[in-house]
Amino acid sequence: MKLNIGIIGCGNIAKSVHLPILVKNPDIKAVFISDTDARALENIGELFGIEKNRRFLDYMELLDSVDAVFILTPSHTHYALVIDCLNRGKNVFVEKPLCMTPDEAQSIEKTAGDTGLIVETGYNLRFMPQLKLAKKLLKKGHIGRIITINGYYLAEAPYLREDKSFYLDPEKGGGVLMDGLCHLIDISSWFADSSIEEAYGFSGTYDDLPVENIADISIKFESGVIGHLQALWAPLSEYLHTETLKTLRIVGDRGVLTPAIYSGKINEYRAGKGTHTIYPENMDLRNPMWALNRSYLEQDTTFINHIKEGINNINKVKESILIIEILDAIKKKKAYKR
Ligand SMILES: NC(=O)c1ccc[n+]([C@@H]2O[C@H](COP(=O)([O-])OP(=O)(O)OC[C@H]3O[C@@H](n4cnc5c(N)ncnc54)[C@H](O)[C@@H]3O)[C@@H](O)[C@H]2O)c1
C-alpha cells in the first residue's frame, strides 16, 4: 500500500528537511502541499516538481486526498491543525513543539485516543545515530548506573534567518524554550528512561530580543536521577558544530559518556579503561551534517512505516505533553511538580 501525504506549511523546515526526504520515499505515492503564502507554495511546488493541481492555499482542500499530514507551520498554529486533521481521519506528524499550552496538549491526547490515529512529534534527536548508540551503551551498563544527565543546546535561528519568521514572537511559539530546551527535555528523558517529576528553571534574554534567548533548568527524574539543561541562542556559528555548546553529558558511577549533538561523535571515559572517542557505524566523518540528516531521514521514515504497519504508540503523545507542561511552568516562573 502506497500512501498519499499532505504537507501543511512550506517554509524552511519543509524545504530543507521533510520534502527532500518524502519525495524520495518509495512508500509514498504522491505529495500534496499547502501554504497560506502563495509565493512559498509556488517556490516549493517548482523546486520539488509538485504538479499545480496538488498545491493548495487552504490545507482543508488537500485533506480528502491524503492518508497523513506533516504539520510544518509556526508553533502557535499546531494545535488547531492537529485537531482538525485528526477529526478528518488523518495520521499526523507535527513538528516540535506539539502545541503551546498544557490544555491544548491534553486535548490533543484525548482526540488522538478517541480517533486511534497516530500523532508523532518532531523530536529528531532520538534518531541521531550517535545518540542511539549512547542509549544502547547506557542500557548495557557501559558507564554503570546513571547519576546525572546534563545537556547544552546552542542554536542560532533568529540570528541567521533574514525573515526571522515566528521565532521572535512570544505569542507564536518564539524563543529558545520552544526551540531548543524542548529537545533537551525530550532526549534527557529518553536517556534516563524515566519522566521528569520536578523541574526548576529560569529563562530570560541577555540582549534586547522580545523573546527569551537563554533558558536553564534543573531536573529530577522519577528514577531519582538529577540533571541540568541549558538552551541558548547566540551568533556563534563557528562553535555550533563543536562538542562544547551542543552536547550531552551522562555521568555514571563507572564512567562518563559525552555524545555531541551535531558532530556525531561520542567521547567516553570508563573507569580503569581511560578515554576514547567512538563513532556510530558507517559515519561519514567528512560530512558535519551526517548525523543530523540521518536523524531526519529515520524520523520521517519511521512515521511512514508506523502508518503502514499500524503501529501507534500513544505514549509518545504523553511524552510531548510533559514537555509542554514543563515549558509552561518555566514561562510562568513556577516550579514544575508532577
Ligand atoms: N525538529 C527540528 O529540528 C526543527 C527545526 C526547525 C523548525 N522546526 C519546527 O518546524 C515548524 C516550522 O518552522 P519553520 O522554520 O519551517 O517556519 P517557517 O516560518 O520557515 O515556515 C512556516 C510556513 O508555514 C506557513 N503557514 C502558516 N500557517 C499556515 C497554515 N494555516 N496553513 C498552511 N501554511 C501555513 C507559512 O506561510 C510558512 O511558509 C516550527 O514549529 C518549528 O519549531 C523544527
Position 236 scores a pLDDT of: 84
Q: How confident is the model at residue 21 (pLDDT cuts 50, 70, 90)?
A: very high
Average pLDDT over residues 128-157: 95
Distance from the CA of 285 to the center of ligand 1, in angstroms? 30
Q: What is the mean pLDDT of residues 6-23?
A: 98
Q: Is the pLDDT of residue 160 over 80?
A: no
Is the pLDDT confidence value at 238 over 80? no
Q: What is the pTM of this model?
A: 0.97
- Tell me the CA–centroid distance for residue 338 and ligand 1, in Å: 31
Q: Which three cell numbers stand for residue 213?
A: 534567548
55 pocket-lining for ligand 1 (C-beta < 6 Å): no
Contact 316, 126 (CB under 8 A): no
Residue 167: pLDDT band with limits 50, 70, 90: very high
Q: Would you say residue 263 has pLDDT above 90?
A: no
92 CA → ligand 1 middle, Å: 15
- What residues contact residue 46 under an 8 Å CB cut-off, 6+ apart? none
pLDDT of residue 96: 97
Q: Is the CB of 8 under 6 A from ligand 1?
A: yes
Residue 315 has pLDDT above 90, yes or no: no
Would you say 187 and 125 are in contact if contact means Cβ atoms under 8 Å apart?
yes
Domain 126-293+322-337 of CATH type 3.30.360.10? yes
- Confidence bin at 320 (pLDDT 50/70/90): very high
Is residue 176 predicted with pLDDT exceeding 90? yes
Cβ–ligand 1 contact at 40 (below 6 Å): yes
Q: What is the Å distance from ligand 1's center to 10 Cα?
A: 7
Neighbours of 50 (CB within 10 A): 20
Distance between Cα 207 and ligand 1 center (Å):
25
Per-residue pLDDT averaged across 209-224, rounded? 96
> What's the pLDDT score for residue 237?
75
Distance from the alpha carbon of residue 12 to the mean position of ligand 1, in angstroms: 7
Q: Distances from the Cα of 66 to the Cαs of 21, 88, 90, in angstroms?
A: 17, 10, 8
Report the distance separating Cα 183 and Cα 96, nearest Å. 8
What does the pLDDT average to over 228-245? 84
Atom 28 in ligand 1: which residue has the minimum CA distance?
Answer: 73
Residue 12, ligand 1, Cβ within 6 A: yes
Q: Is the pLDDT of residue 86 over 80?
A: yes
> Ligand 1 in contact with 122 (CB < 6 A)?
yes
Helices (H), 230-310: 237-240, 290-309
- Taking the CA of residue 81 as reference, the ligand 1 atom at the shortest distance is 31
**Once rounded to an integer, what is the mean pLDDT over residues 33-56?**
98
Residue 49 phi/psi, 5-degree rounding, is 65, 40
**Ligand 1 centroid – CA 325 distance (Å):** 22
> CB of 165 closer than 6 A to ligand 1?
yes
Ligand 1 atom nearest to CA at 123: 1
* Average pLDDT over the chain, rounded to an integer: 95
What are 16's three cell numbers?
Answer: 530543507
Q: How far apart are CA 173 and CA 100, in angstroms?
A: 7
Query: Is residue 164 scored above 80 in pLDDT?
Result: no
For the chain, give every domain's residue range: 3-124, 126-293+322-337
Percentage of the residues of the chain whose pLDDT score is greater than 70: 99
pLDDT band at 313 (very low <50, low <70, confident <90, very high): confident
Q: Residue 208: what pLDDT?
A: 87
> Residue type for 271, please?
A
The finding on whether 35 has its CB within 6 A of some atom of ligand 1 is yes
Any idea which fold 3-124 has? Rossmann fold (3.40.50)
Residue 185 confidence class, pLDDT cut points 50, 70, 90: very high
The Cα 301–Cα 120 span in angstroms is: 12
Q: 41 CA distance to ligand 1 centroid (A)?
A: 13
